[in-house]
Structure formats: C-alpha cells, structure tokens
Structure 1
Amino acid sequence: MDAQLPHMLRSDARDNRDRVLEAARSLFSEQGLGVPMREIARRAEVGPATLYRRFPTKQALIDAAFADELRACSSIVHANCADPDPWRGLTVIVREITELNAANQGFVDAFVSSYPGAFDFAAHRADMLRALTALWRRAQRAGALRPDAVVDDLILMIMAARGLPPGPPSLRLAAARRFAALILDSFRAAPTTSPLPPPARLPASALAKA
C-alpha cells in the first residue's frame, strides 16, 4: 500500500487539475473571464486551497484553460488525420471540433479579445491546416469527398460554426451536431439516406438575430 500511495496522490492531483480546468472553461464560456475563483472551485468540487495550489493566480488558470483548449483541438485533428479511412477521420474531426466550439466558444472569444497576443495562433493554424490538407487530399483520392470541394470550405464551415446561437449547453450541442451532419452531407461525394441528428429547437430571440 505504501508503494502505491505516491501514484494514487499523483492520480488524484491530475484528476483535480482536470476538473478545475473543465469547470473553468465551462464557467468562462457561460459568464466570461470575470467569474470568481471560488465559484470555479465549487463547480470543480475542490477546495479553494486545492485550486490555488495548482493555479496561484486567476491569470495562470485562464492561460492554462486556453492552452488546454488548443491542445484539445490539436489532439482531435492529429489523431483523426492519422485514421487509415480518410472519410471517417474527416467525419470525426468535423463533429468533434464543432461540438468543442459549441461548448467553449464564449471562453475562446473572451480570451482572444482580452489577450490577442498571448499565444502564437499563426503557428497553431498553420499546423492544423497542413494536417487537414493532407487528410482532405486522401479523402478525395479515395472517392469519398466530392472532387470540387476545397479545404477552404472546411475552414469556412468551422468559422460558420462559431455563430451557433447562445443558450443552454444542451441546445448548443444539439445545434452543433445538426450543423456538422449537414456540412458532412454537403462534402460527401455520394448522397446518403442516413437520418440527421434531431433538430435544435432555437428560441425566438435567436431567430430574430438571424
């Protein structure tokens, strides 16, 4: 038992850190960057001392949460660009990136607006574009992706997904899934009869802004 204790403590520390970052991204998305640290600790179900031990300042937490967001995006792209089936890899990327954006878009927008020079976004985008372009070409050579589509269409889709309506997480997730399915159908070389995900029932306020 004594030999296992350090490993258990490290595992608990990682779990606490992950819960804090997940809670922070969620609350920053819902309420902006001004959300109190104590509220983040409550959402993560950790004590304030645990929170401050991992992240001594609010800025350190904001920076770590955004770095985690970029890593999540990069992980989705690179893991699925390596899929031997390029259409399957592209499908997962479109779905998961759209859902990631829907979950944390408010946080990303707030961070970029407040700290425009904090991260090397150009290098991140260039890395993503190289990987996606290679996958795109493989999908076209396999005959799964329509030949007149270009990778810029995928970038346009990702940009458009940033305009999903605000609202409860369940609504945003439903809208993201429906949107991703419609986009994938437009990219597919051959028509499909697969059913779409359930529609998102948008509030009248969202429709008024369209």
Structure 2
Amino acid sequence: MTPGAQHPNEPAAQPLRSDAERNRERIIAAARTVFARDGLSASMASVSREAGVGIATMFRRFPTKAELVDAVFADRMGAYADAVATALDDPDPWNGFVGYIETACAMQAVDSGFADVLTMVFPTAKTLEERRNQAYEGMVQLIGRAKATGRLREDFDASDLVLLHMANAGVVNATGDAAPDAWRRVVALLIQSLEAPARGVLPDPAGHEALYKAMLRAGQAGSTAPAPGKSG
C-alpha cells in the first residue's frame, strides 16, 4: 500500500472503535438472553445470530467462550458473592445459611446460564473466578458458624455446596417452563436434610479436588467452540 493510500483510512479509525464497542455490547446482551434461555450449552453461533453480527465479528470480540462467559456473568457472580455477605451478616448463622441456599438456587432458577456457571469452572475468566473464590471463602466461614449453633449437621462439607448447585441446576434445566417451581421443593427437601440432628450417616464427601476436576471438565466442555473458518 502506498503512503498516500494510508491517509484516507486514518479518520475512520475512531468510528471503527465505536462500532466495535457497540458490537461488543450487542453480543453481551444477546448472550445474556441466549444463555439464560438455553444454558451454557448454547453455541457461539446462536449468540451471534441473536446479536445480529457475523460469527467472525463474534470471535474478534470474544475469541473464546470463556471470555464471553466472564463478560456476561461476572456481575451475577458478584451478586452471588453479595448473597454470601448478606448471609454472614445474619445474627442467626443457620438462618443466614438457609437464606443463602434459597437465594443462590433462585438465581439459578431464573437463569439457566447461571445455573450452569455455578457447576463449572473457567480458569481464564479471571473476574468471575475471583468473585466465586470470594463467595466460597465466605461460605466456609458461614458453615462453621452454622455448625457451632448446632443447627447444621456436623458431617456437612463445604464441597457439598457444589453438589447442591449441581442438583438444582439439573432440576432447573430438566423442568424448564413445564414445572418452573419444582426446584423449590427440591431445595426445601435438601435444607431439611441438612438440619441437625442428623438422621443417618452420610457417605464420605467427594472432596474439593475431585469436584474441581468435574467442574473444570464441565467448563471446558461448555466452552468448546470451533473458530470461524472464514470472516463474516
């Protein structure tokens, strides 16, 4: 390209950046809609169609699905962390613990994508994972306090929270709009089973490392998406 041909392109740089930002916001808004409806199994192509942008534009803004998940759900993971903080502030740790479970499961129930997010790990989604870790640290404190009151069964393990969210996500995704309140009964059953005195003995917990591997594998499966073969 000759030097003289570069000048006409320079003034167009700023509008291009504005267009790129508008496309980014359209993609995020579309992803919120698609993921909330279809969960994280929804394809990047379905998001690009919802946003009205080409698949190549989608991958320019978000080269990986994990980056899109981070942009879409970081704020909701922040709200999830806030729910833990609210639970910690409750003067009755058992009430705080129950309130947290009900709030977190309700968040899953209204958004299939977030139902999945709580059962998956995305190591490259830095903001989302930082907020998840913040919430987890708070829950470990809350579990200890609830046990100290004698209301939470002693053999409950913090890793059981992952199983609880997996169970609720399964109910939410299976029942959908056919039985939209079914999750409430499942959560009530789970809460009642957690209250002391314990009735029976639980098997050994799966453990943090094993469940992390399961969540990581689920996140990797949910993030798999082929790069576009040609620009669009």
State the TM-score, normalized to the length of structure 1: 0.57
Pairwise CA RMSD of aligned residues? 3.5
Question: Which residue among 134, 149, 164 is the counterpart of 2:156?
Answer: 149
Alignment correspondent of 1:119:
126
Question: Which residue among 138, 144, 152 is the counterpart of 1:137?
Answer: 144
1:166 aligns with 2:174: yes
Q: 1:186 to 1:109 in 2, by over 3 A?
A: closer
Q: Map 1:89-104; keep pairs closer than 5 Å.
A: 89-104=96-111
Q: Give, in angstroms, the shift of residue 26 of structure 1.
A: 4.2
Alignment correspondent of 2:189:
182
Relative contact order, higher structure (CA 8 A, sep 6+): 2
Cα-to-partner distance string for 1:91-149 (whole Å, 9 max, x where unaligned): 11111111212222336648x99x76233554333322211111111111111111222
The 2-side partners of 1:122 and 1:61 are apart by 13
CA contact under 8 A between 2:69 and 2:125: conserved in structure 1? no
Give the percent of matched residue pairs that are identical in Structure 1 and Structure 2: 30
CA contact under 8 A between 1:26 and 1:104: conserved in structure 2? no
Q: 1:152 to 1:92 in 2, by over 3 A?
A: same
Question: Which residue among 63, 79, 82 is the counterpart of 1:72?
Answer: 79
The 2-side partners of 1:89 and 1:146 are apart by 15
Q: Give, in angstroms, the shift of residue 65 of structure 1.
A: 3.0
SS at match of 1:149: coil
The 2-side partners of 1:121 and 1:65 are apart by 9
CA contact under 8 A between 2:84 and 2:139: conserved in structure 1? yes
CA contact under 8 A between 2:74 and 2:127: conserved in structure 1? no
Question: Which residue among 17, 30, 37 is the counterpart of 2:51?
Answer: 37
CA contact under 8 A between 1:76 and 1:97: conserved in structure 2? yes
Bigger-Rg structure (1/2): 2
SS at match of 2:125: coil
Alignment correspondent of 1:88:
95
The 1-side partners of 2:143 and 2:80 are apart by 17
The 1-side partners of 2:81 and 2:75 are apart by 10
Q: What is the identity, as a one-letter code, of the residue corresponding to 1:124?
A: R
Cα-to-partner distance string for 1:60-104 (whole Å, 9 max, x where unaligned): 997543122211211111111221111111111111111212222
Q: Give, in angstroms, the shift of residue 189 of structure 1.
A: 0.9
SS at match of 2:110: helix
The 2-side partners of 1:109 and 1:151 are apart by 19
Q: 1:72 to 1:24 in 2, by over 3 A?
A: farther
